Amino acid sequence: MSDTAIRVRGIEKSFKDVHVLRGVDFDVERGSIFALLGSNGAGKTTLVRILSTLLKADAGAATVQGHDVGSEPGEVRESISLTGQFAAVDEVLSGRENLVLVAKLRHVKHPAAVAEELLARFSLTEAGDRRAATYSGGMRRRLDIAMSLIGEPKIIFLDEPTTGLDPQARIDVWRTVKQLADGGTTVLLTTQYLDEAEQLADRIAILHRGTIIQNGTLAELKQLLPPAEIEYVEKQPSLEDVFLALVGDTGEADAAENADAAADASARKEAR
């Protein structure tokens, strides 16, 4: 089997007189994290919709897991999972019920056991029986990604997975994405955040005005600019270093997140 999980060649897409994609080309290796970096309106979501068979390209070709997105949409859908910009969870159901429902819809054996494993994997066990409406933004996103992994898809598309999240929640999602790749899942994520692409991606493709203007590893992209000549550099801590030093480890953050979400839910109930 080829080492290429996703192959895109000459993809074009227009909406009336607006040319969104103007001939996009790239490959994504199996088990890697590939970041599609671009500003709002660059065409990132349109491309993801084409690759996930939700939209047809006007020209060009693309394969996912060796299946053509145009002529073999069923086979493509069996190989992938898609998480959009907003968490697609049922707020009336609990976290556990959301997972069990998706497992049943995908005809997975032992849906309750699958739900328990995913709740533990994404640090949601304590909140598993609470309605998803009481979850914080970071918890909803983690639940959304957990739901997308049911059925063990080979490829997962994450369309701007940290939009609207606070710094700690973003770091939690980053950690989850890295774990997916470490487990052999191919991840294609779109983002407009430079630090997100820098933290996560094995390769970064910059999408601008409908075309890929650069594609490479972080080291390769940095080589595009000449190094600055300096005599002395004093390393200053980054904002992330300061933030993590102040808030402590993830376990404490998860507990605080659960407590905050529960407090918000209780306040809303009393208000009613």
- Domain residues of the chain, as ranges? 4-271
Q: What is the pLDDT of residues 159-168, one digit of tens each?
A: 988 887 888 8
- CA 272 – CA 173 distance, rounded (Å): 32
Name the nearest CA neighbour of 48 among 84, 7, 23: 84
- CA 35 – CA 188 distance, rounded (Å): 6
For residue 212, give every residue at least 6 positions away whose Cβ sits within 8 Å of its Cβ, in sequence order, or none: 24, 25, 26, 205, 206
Split at pLDDT 50, 70, 90, the class of 41 is: confident
pLDDT of amino acid 45: 92
- pLDDT higher than threshold 80 for residue 235: no
pLDDT of amino acid 246: 64
236, 76 in Cβ contact below 8 A? no
Q: What is the pLDDT of residues 120-167, one digit of tens each?
A: 988 899 999 999 999 988 888 889 888 988 988 999 999 988 887 888
pLDDT of amino acid 256: 47
- C-alpha 232: how far from chain center: 39
Tokens coding 222: 């940095």
Split at pLDDT 50, 70, 90, the class of 239 is: low
pLDDT of amino acid 242: 66
Split at pLDDT 50, 70, 90, the class of 55 is: very high
Q: What is the pLDDT of residues 240-255, one digit of tens each?
A: 676 667 666 554 445 5
Percent of the chain with pLDDT over 90: 52
CATH code 3.30.50.10 for 4-271: no
Q: Which residue has the higher pLDDT, 258 or 68?
A: 68
Mean pLDDT of the chain, nearest integer: 85
Give the pTM: 0.80
